């Protein structure tokens, strides 16, 4: 079995263009490897992060290696999608009840829980759920755009170094001889960041 697998591997290697190029022109496998001393520096592209995030929300954050933001993106989009679907469903139920109530056929009645609700209340509830559905769509679009903007800004600041320690330095200054407020002795404390 080993001989068969080695023969297949050798045969596939002969067919592949890379291997045949190597046989024809005498390239060695060591020529294709990078030296240990050389470092490949890949440029982090804000454009690529923006495109990734626009195609699939959260992919730009993954490209920027900000993995902790991906659940936040999907939670924001998921919650707004949930409320959009729930409000659209409630609006559709009220709209169907209104259609059944207002058609010219006296035999059609709205569904059980909507049968005793007056027409004006059904219209007000339908408009309420339509407004909330529209707000949910706006929120979903805003979270989607915010996801793209966040990926682009993070990509711009990808190499930004914030490792220097931020510290608070206290200074005590005593102005006994004079001050800025005339010639009155003052005592103060100032903080510099």
Same domain, 76 and 6: no
CB within 8 A of 193, min separation 6: which ones? Answer: 166, 168, 169
Q: What is the pLDDT of residue 22?
A: 45
Which of 99, 103, 102, 94 has the alpha carbon at shortest distance from 131?
94
22 and 63 belong to one structural domain = no
Whether residues 58 and 147 fall in one domain = yes
Q: Are residues 90 and 147 in the same domain?
A: yes
Go through the chain and tell me how many residues it has: 193
pTM of this structure = 0.62
**Domain interval for residue 136:** 46-156
Query: What was the pLDDT predicted at 165?
Result: 62
- Integer Cα distance of 117 and 150 in angstroms: 47
Q: What is the pLDDT of residue 3?
A: 57
Residue 87: name the closest of 153, 17, 138, 34 by CA. 138
Q: What is the mean pLDDT of each run of 10 residues along the chain (193 residues)?
A: 53 47 47 59 87 95 94 96 97 91 76 82 95 97 97 90 64 55 57 54
What per-residue confidence (pLDDT) applies to 161?
A: 74
Same domain, 131 and 90: yes
Judgement on whether residues 94 and 16 belong to the same structural domain of the protein = no
Same domain, 103 and 74: yes
First to last CA, the chain: 71
* 52 Cβ contact list (under 8 Å, min separation 6): 59, 60, 62, 63, 151
Specify the residue for token string 């989009």: 77
Query: CA 172: distance to chain centroid?
Result: 46
Q: Tell me if 95 is assigned to some domain.
A: yes
| Distance (Å, whole) CA 71 – CA 77 | 10
């Amino acid at each position: 079995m080993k001989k068969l697998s080695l023969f297949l591997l050798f045969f596939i290697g002969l067919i592949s263009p890379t291997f045949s190029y190597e046989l024809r022109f005498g390239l060695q496998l060591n020529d294709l490897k990078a030296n240990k001393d050389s470092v490949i520096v890949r440029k982090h592209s804000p454009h690529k992060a923006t495109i990734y995030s626009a195609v699939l929300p959260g992919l730009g954050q993954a490209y920027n290696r900000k993995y902790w933001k991906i659940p936040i993106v999907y939670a924001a989009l998921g919650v707004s999608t949930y409320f959009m679907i729930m409000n659209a469903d409630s609006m559709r139920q009220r709209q169907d009840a209104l259609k059944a109530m207002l058609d010219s056929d006296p035999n059609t009645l709205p569904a059980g829980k909507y049968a005793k609700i007056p027409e004006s209340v059904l219209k007000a509830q339908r408009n309420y759920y339509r407004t909330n559905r529209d707000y949910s769509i706006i929120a979903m679009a805003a979270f989607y755009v915010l996801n793209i903007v966040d990926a682009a800004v993070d990509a711009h600041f990808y190499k930004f170094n914030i490792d220097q320690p931020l510290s608070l330095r206290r200074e005590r200054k005593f102005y006994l001889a004079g001050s800025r407020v005339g010639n009155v002795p003052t005592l103060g404390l100032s903080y510099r960041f």
